[in-house]
Amino acid sequence: MLGAIIGDIVGSRFEFNNHRSKDFDFFAEGCFVTDDSIMTLAVAKAIMECADSRFDESLLSRNVVKTMQEIGRKYPNCGFGSMFNNWIFSDDPRPYNSFGNGAAMRVSPCGFIAETEDEAKFLSKIVTEVTHNHPEGLKGAEAVAVAVYMAKTGATKKEIRERIDNDYYPLDFMLDGIRATYRFNETCRETVPQAIVAFLEAETFEDAVRNAVSIGGDSDTLAAVAGSIAEAYYGIHRLVEKAAMKFLDAEQRSIYAAWKKHVKSVYQPQKLKFITKYKGKTTNPGMAYSFEAEFYVFLKMNDEYGLKQYVDILQKNGLEWKEASLRNADVSKLDETAVLALVTAVLRADHFSDGIFETFAREGILEKWLVRLKEIDDGREAEQETADVIALRIDIERDTRRESLEISAKELFIREHHDAFGDITHHYAFKEALHTDVIEQILEEAGKALTADGWLETNEKSPRGNYSYTLAVSYSDETTEQRRGNYDRVHIPEESWGKVISAVRGFLGLFMFGEIVNLSGFMNAIRVGEVKYCGVEFSKGGKIYHYRTTDLQIAVGDSVIVPAGDNNYEREAVVKTVEFCRWDDTPYPLEQTKRILGKTDYTRRSIAKLALPSEVVDNDGDDDDEEGDYNA
């Protein structure tokens, strides 16, 4: 149900101030929890309290009324409609024949907890008819519950669309076709189909919520419904979950925590479900194409597999990036990373030689790989909830020099002591809401590093010239941990600890001194007769391509969108160099140099990142294939 809560929070500030665009801050000042979240939590609590009876109809009906009234009365100003407000405070609450979208906004727990589609429908009816007993209200709620159940259990978007289209609502429109004319409407009939299409057109969970907000109307409810289905389909990143928890009070967080634990007792989400749902379907050309598009989304959601280096992964498993080797790979002996590398390798081969992927799909080779991935998922032990790192301190020492780094949710300290020169301290204190996503990323990376292999603790003194360290960690479950040893890549896992330090450096970059010691603003001017050239790269360490721009704000390090290749596909790149040239003395002919389209915004980023890799023609006249982030 977290997707509904997040959608509600994000959409809350736009309900009466519509924003017909996907370009906005996701969690921002002005966001808040509304009745959509309050009632979703109430339904979840009622279901949990009746779980032992396996959802006795009479018991659940009475219990959902009780919990909705008990919880709802604590939040009288959360946005209830007038009829529902009367129901919440009534001593004799009865259904009032409503067909409003309140039925759909609160129903997602039914889809998540149900073990069959019929049970999802059954639960939806019970929790809805206590207020919304009109056929249209019941239909709207059931459509959402069924969509959530289908997404949870591995249905494809095509299958979800067909079910809703055939059994509930015609989905014969696109968001772009209704965005300009769609208006606020609180009925299920004019909310549920639009929210479902917002999910169907999305590329990620966040994109589904942004889609829903972008059409205007009853933004919080549209986003809550779209978010609930998108959660079941894509999952939600832990950092997004933690950010959402800041908007909930203690009681709301307690209900959510209990629900999260309860759901895992009956349903354990599978890590690879997003792609294994295509098992048994990829010999169909249309499904194979859908798999290809979603596999690229999977790569971006799961960069921990390191599939950018798929060739290296293949080689470590005795395989080559050659068709015969890929065809004959014995997947029964491969782990999930190696099997995913096989899929990546075939898609990359198809990029250079169109038809390779289709052949592997048609001949059932891809199916064999998906069967193996499903076996791995089925055999995976349920993940245990781990406590979050909430504070970290590391002290390093060498000869006459000592340094320390201390991080918590509200402060960051860097201290240095040198016997000869004295002490230096940097102290960063900030409001709770400011840059907490960056701090949480640091602590999240620290949590991963602490569970990584490669820690070799020792009490022996470091060799002369090397640092020794002492590490102290505090966790959310009030436990602590200490480690000590030599501060080097032999005794600390290099890659995972490097990510922690990289995240710290990124944070510090937000708080450098102002323009007085920074020439970036000083350079925002152009002389008459000059042209501004930028060198960009599409992947770290890749080739530099030159583009021109008239945007004086574009600087080194900025992410920009540029046209690439003969077809001018929009691609995201990073500016590595900036130079000002005379118009008649440019490094490349002006007529042959393409222009930067602009700095990256959300919409363009989604298009550019999820576009299939395409050929890039650089501005120096050579035809080079730009491999993006994948190393062949």
pLDDT averaged over every residue in the chain: 86
Query: What CA–CA distances, in Å, run from 164 to 99, 141, 150, 252, 317?
Result: 18, 12, 11, 31, 44
Residues in the chain: 632
pLDDT value at position 463? 65
Q: Which stretches within 379-485 are classed as H helix? A: 436-450
**Tens digits of residue pLDDT in 3-14:** 999 999 999 999
More confident residue, 304 or 431: 304
Residue 33 reports pLDDT greater than 70: yes
At 267, which amino acid appears? Answer: Y
Domain ranges of the chain: 2-266, 273-378, 389-512, 530-624
**CATH code, 2-266:** 1.10.4080.10
Residues sharing a CB contact under 8 Å with residue 121, sequence separation 6 or more, in sequence order: 142, 145, 146
Q: Burial-class residue 435 by CB neighbours within 10 Å (0-12, 13-18, 19+).
A: middle
In the chain, what percentage of residues exceed pLDDT 90?
Answer: 52
Cα–Cα distance, 389 to 478 (Å, whole number): 10
pLDDT value at position 383? 63
pLDDT value at position 508? 78
β strands within 45-96, DSSP E:
none
Q: Which stretches within 267-384 are classed as H helix? A: 273-276, 285-301, 310-316, 323-327, 336-352, 356-362, 365-378
Question: By the 8 A CB rule, do 209 and 9 touch?
Answer: no
Cα–Cα distance, 531 to 582 (Å, whole number): 6
Mean pLDDT to the nearest integer, 379-395: 80
pLDDT value at position 112? 93
Measured from the Cβ of residue 100, the count of other Cβ atoms closer than 10 Å reads 24
Strand, coil or helix: 149: helix
**Tens digits of residue pLDDT in 509-565:** 776 655 555 555 677 778 888 899 999 998 888 889 999 999 988 888 889 999 988
Question: By the 8 A CB rule, do 389 and 481 touch?
Answer: no
Cα–Cα distance, 357 to 361 (Å, whole number): 6
Given CATH 3.30.1560.10, say whether it is the number of domain 389-512. Answer: yes
Residue recorded with tokens 């000059």: 530
Question: By the 8 A CB rule, do 370 and 282 touch?
Answer: yes
Query: What CA–CA distances, in Å, run from 561 to 538, 545, 575?
Result: 10, 13, 10
Cα–Cα distance, 99 to 305 (Å, whole number): 46
Mean pLDDT to the nearest integer, 368-374: 94
Residue 603 reports pLDDT greater than 70: no
**Tens digits of residue pLDDT in 147-203:** 999 999 999 999 999 999 999 999 999 999 999 999 999 999 999 999 999 999 999
Give the number of C-alpha atoms closer than 13 A to the C-alpha of residue 291, restricted to the C-beta side: 31
Stated pTM of the model: 0.71
> For residue 381, what are its two tokens?
């032990």
**Tens digits of residue pLDDT in 36-73:** 999 999 999 999 998 877 678 889 999 999 999 999 99
Residue 611 reports pLDDT greater than 50: no
Mean pLDDT to the nearest integer, 482-493: 87
Q: Using the 8-state DSSP alphabet, how is residue 381 labeled?
A: P
Least trusted range by pLDDT, from 93-107, 152-166, 198-212, 422-436: 422-436
In the chain, what percentage of residues exceed pLDDT 70?
Answer: 89
Give the chain's end-to-end CA distance (angstroms, integer): 41
**Tens digits of residue pLDDT in 284-323:** 888 888 999 999 999 888 888 889 889 999 999 999 999 9
**Tens digits of residue pLDDT in 201-257:** 999 999 999 999 999 999 999 999 999 999 999 999 888 898 898 899 989 999 998
Backbone angles phi, psi at 252, to 5 degrees: -65, -40
Mean pLDDT to the nearest integer, 253-264: 89
Cα–Cα distance, 415 to 401 (Å, whole number): 11
Is the torsion defined by CA of 484, 489, 493, 495 positive or negative? Answer: positive
Angle formed by the axes of helices 205-214 and 219-234, nearest 10°: 160
408 forms beta bridges with 391
Vertex 190 angle, CA 79 and 188, to 5°? 60
Question: By the 8 A CB rule, do 578 and 534 touch?
Answer: yes
